[in-house]
Amino acid sequence: MSNNIIIIDYGVGNLLSISQAVEKCGFKFSITSDEKTISQASHIILPGVGAFGYAMNELKKRNLDKIIIQSAKKGINILGICLGMQLLFNESSEFGSHKGLELVKGEVIPIPSIDSLKNILKIPNIGWYELQETENLELNKKNLLFDISYSKFVYFVHSFMCKPTNTKNILAYYDFSEIKIPAIVKKNNIYGCQFHPEKSGEVGLNIINNFCNFNE
């Protein structure tokens, strides 16, 4: 049976470029906010751009927070992208305190604007950075970086960063000055990319392809 890939539409997402990337990888997909359709997914992609609190409110207005949590408990493969990754965590301090989906333990905090050497860092951080794999990376096919052996430069644009409670959830990070920012996280069937794979060329397409190929 072919995978049933759903891209969630809740008014706060980069839907066009993500859908084009999934299509380029050769997969059929649906873009929807319909609860019944999402409940039948084998793979869910949660995009997101903008502010954490507003995005969570939009999910809740459509009752999508509950269906995402239910899907996670059923073992459905879920990929959060950029803000979508941050929404997977317990809470964020962006423009106040906001609860997230609580699928990955941890918090979302501002990227420091000054490092320990008193260098001023430009925030938001926008640009291409190389993924650095951690010892937690799984060496099997259910791995977003499976079979990507060349340089892994991907595109970031963000002002806040995720801080998992359990560092074993971090599969890759990138160096921003001396700060190691989590770039890929995983907890069981839940995955997150802080970067935009849909805007990251061949590396990003291979990451999307790996996710869409995951089986239960």
Beta carbons of 13 and 59 less than 8 angstroms apart: no
For 16, the token pair is 């066009």
Catalytic residue among 25, 43, 58, 82: 82
Residue given tokens 């990070």 in the structure block: 173
Give yes or no: 158 in active site: no
Give yes or no: 196 in active site: yes
Catalytic residue among 94, 158, 198, 212: 198
CA distances from 65 to 33, 35, 84, 174 (A): 11, 10, 12, 29
Catalytic residue among 43, 94, 196, 212: 196
Helix (H, G, I), strand (E, B) or coil at 38: helix
CA distances from 145 to 131, 165, 183, 206 (A): 10, 23, 12, 8
Give yes or no: 162 in active site: no
| Gap between the Cα atoms of 204 and 166, Å rounded | 26
Positions annotated as catalytic residues are 82, 196, 198
